Amino acid sequence: MPELPEVETIRRHLAPRVEGRVLTELDIEDPRWCEPLAPAELRDAVEGRVVEKLGRRGKYLVWELADEVFLLVHLRMTGTLLLDPPEPTGHTRVRIGLGDHVLVFDDPRRFGTGELALGPDALAAFFDARLGVEPLGSELTGETLRALAKGRRAPIKAFLLDQRRIAGVGNIYADEALFRARVHPLRPAGSLKRAQYDELAAAVQEVLAAGIDAGGASIDDFRHPDGVSGAFQNGFLVHLRRGESCVRCGSESVKFVAAGRGGGRPRDALRRRRWASSWSSRTPATCAAASATRTLRATPWPAPPSWRTPTGWRSSTRRSSSASWRR
C-alpha cells in the first residue's frame, strides 16, 4: 500500500501541474470508486471548478477546489495516478481532465476511493473520524506517543499502523522506524520508557523524510505520475530483508507476523530476553523449528486481550518478571 512518503511524492509531482487549472472532466468508469455517492453526483460537484490547492492528509490526496469543495482521493493497496500516460493503462478506473492534461487513476485491485467533502467543517469531520497525528509536523513528539499509547497492550507495531493514532505510517515505515529506535514490534505499546518514545518519534519522522527524499518505495505497483519508480526500497534496513544479514549485528534477519503484517528482526535479537515478552512460551524446540522454517510468527507472544502469564508457570520469579514487563 502506498504510504505517506509515496502519497507525498505524488502530491509534490502533481501540484505544480494541476494547481490553477480547471477540472474539466471527471470520468468515473468504476462506480465502486466513489460509493456510496453516485458518479453523477460527484461529477456535478467538481467539474468546472478550479484546483486551488493539492494537499495531503495522512495517505489522502486532498483536492481543494473552488467554493470550498474537496475531492479526497485514497490510493489504498494498488492505486496509481499517472499523468498523461503514453499508452492506455490496463486497470483504469477514473480519468480526470485538466485542460490539456489527463490524470488516470489506475488500480488493479479496485480498492482506491474518491470521496467528497463540502466545506471546511465537513472536511475536518471526515478526517477527525479517521486520522490521528500528522507525523511530519511538530505534533509528533515522544510525549505525544506516550500519551496516545498509555495503557495500551496492543503491539507497538499495531499501534503505529492505526491511522486513528498516527496518520500515514504503514508496514514499511513502521518496520524501519522500530528497527532504528531498537524497539521490538511485539512489545506492548504502553510499556515503553520515555526515552524510547522520544527515539521512536524521531525514527518515524526520520524514515518518512528519507522515504520522501527517495521518491517513495516501489515494491509492487507504486509509480510516480510520470511512471518512474521510487528508490527507498534500495535502502531498507530490515523490511523485506528476510534471510539477509542484519546491518547492525550481522545475524540473519527473520520474518514474523505482527498486527497481521509481516515484519523483520535479526534472529539474535529475537533470542535475547529484552526483545521478547517475559511470558513467552517459546522453548528451545520451538526456536529450532522456527529456525528451520525461517519464519517466526506472533503466536509465542499472545495478542491482546490475552496478555497474561501462561497457566503452567508457578515460579514467583517469573510472575514478578511478567509484572515488571507490564509496567
Residue 133 has phi, psi (to 5 degrees) of -65, 135
- Taking residue 204's Cβ as centre, other Cβ atoms within 10 Å add up to 27
Rounded Cα gap, residues 246 and 271, in angstroms:
14
pLDDT at position 295: 31
Is 261 among the residues known to form the active site?
yes
Is 3 among the residues known to form the active site?
yes
Is 255 among the residues known to form the active site?
no
Identify the active-site residue in 12, 49, 261, 318: 261
Give pLDDT tens digits for 69-106: 999 999 999 999 999 998 888 899 999 999 999 999 99
Looking at the chain, list the stretches that DSSP marks H as alpha helix, in order from N- to C-terminal side. 4-18, 39-46, 120-128, 142-149, 156-161, 171-181, 194-213, 267-271, 284-293, 316-326
The x, y and z cell numbers of residue 324, run together, are 515488571
pLDDT at position 320: 33
**Residue 18: which residues within 8 A CB-CB, separation 6 or more?**
51, 54, 98, 101, 103
Assess contact for 222 and 6: CB atoms under 8 A: yes
256 pLDDT tier (thresholds 50, 70, 90) = confident
pLDDT at 249 over 90: no
Give pLDDT tens digits for 180-199: 999 999 999 999 999 999 99
Name the residue ranges covered by the structural domains of the chain. 4-128, 142-326
The closest alpha carbon to 56, from 4, 19, 13, belongs to: 4
Identify the active-site residue in 56, 57, 59, 93: 59
Rounded Cα gap, residues 55 and 71, in angstroms:
10
Look up the pTM and report it. Answer: 0.78
Looking at 19-119, list the stretches that DSSP marks H as alpha helix, in order from N- to C-terminal side. 39-46
> What separation in angstroms does the CA of 151 have from each of 83, 145, 148, 156, 221?
46, 12, 9, 12, 38
- What is the residue type of 309? T
Give pLDDT tens digits for 305-316: 433 333 333 333
pLDDT at position 281: 28
Average pLDDT over residues 252-275: 59
pLDDT at position 271: 46
The closest alpha carbon to 25, from 46, 54, 50, belongs to: 46
pLDDT at position 10: 94
Is 2 among the residues known to form the active site?
yes
Give pLDDT tens digits for 287-302: 333 333 233 333 333 3
Give pLDDT tens digits for 99-149: 999 999 999 999 999 999 999 999 999 999 999 999 998 999 999 999 999
The x, y and z cell numbers of residue 15, run together, are 501540484
261 pLDDT tier (thresholds 50, 70, 90) = low
CATH 3.20.190.10 fits 4-128, yes or no: yes
The closest alpha carbon to 14, from 125, 96, 114, 131, belongs to: 96
Equal CATH topology for 4-128 and 142-326: no
Return the CATH fold of 142-326: Helicase, Ruva Protein; domain 3 (1.10.8)
Radius of gyration of the chain (CA): 22
Looking at 19-170, list the stretches that DSSP marks H as alpha helix, in order from N- to C-terminal side. 39-46, 120-128, 142-149, 156-161
pLDDT at 154 over 50: yes
